[in-house]
Amino acid sequence: MRILGIDPGLAIVGFGFVDKEGNKLTPVQYGCIQTEAHTPEEERLLHVYEGMVQLIDKYKPDTVALEKLFFSRNVTTALPVAQARGVMILAAVQRGLPVAEYTPMQVKQAVVGYGKAEKRQVQEMIKMLLKLSAIPKPDDVADALAIAVCHAHSYSLNSKLNEVLRK
């Protein structure tokens, strides 16, 4: 199974493709889509959408996982990020891909084993789990890989639970 993990944003969208075979996780490709700060928002959204479509078409994931939108105070930032998430989900759904969403706490729990882990701990675990030579930069890329790893773990657990429930 190939998973596309996405850390949504408008300025920087982190992405990471991870293959899962049994218990083995292998990074396929990772990076980010960036938009220019002083470009009209609709052009930035189009750039994110087109970038996402190109990535999906090139790397052909089986599923997409993104971080759920979380904000506590900065509503001004949350709205453009929500719009960007929308075009990312649209790109996936148009290609017939299932979309899963995870909270930051769920991602930390799946990757580190502790839902309140620090960002650096998550990054170090991603480096170890995926046997990378360095922590991916910018942080959004490491976060996207963490979301893909979270989905790989969650998908396995959910599949096993569904098997048990069907019996």
Of 19, 50, 118, 140, which is the active-site residue? 140
CB 147 within 8 A of CB 155: no
| 139 catalytic residue (yes or no) | no
Of 67, 101, 124, 139, which is the active-site residue? 67
Query: Given strand 99-102, what is the order of strands in its sheet?
Result: 24-34, 12-21, 2-7, 63-67, 99-102
Of 7, 41, 42, 43, which is the active-site residue? 7
* Phi, then psi, of 64 in degrees rounded to 5: -125, 140
User: What angle do the packed helices 139-166 and 119-129 form, to 10 degrees?
Assistant: 70
CA separation for the pair 146, 121 (Å, rounded): 11
| 67 catalytic residue (yes or no) | yes
Lookup result for tokens 């997409």: 64
| 62 catalytic residue (yes or no) | no
Catalytically active residues, by annotation: 7, 67, 140
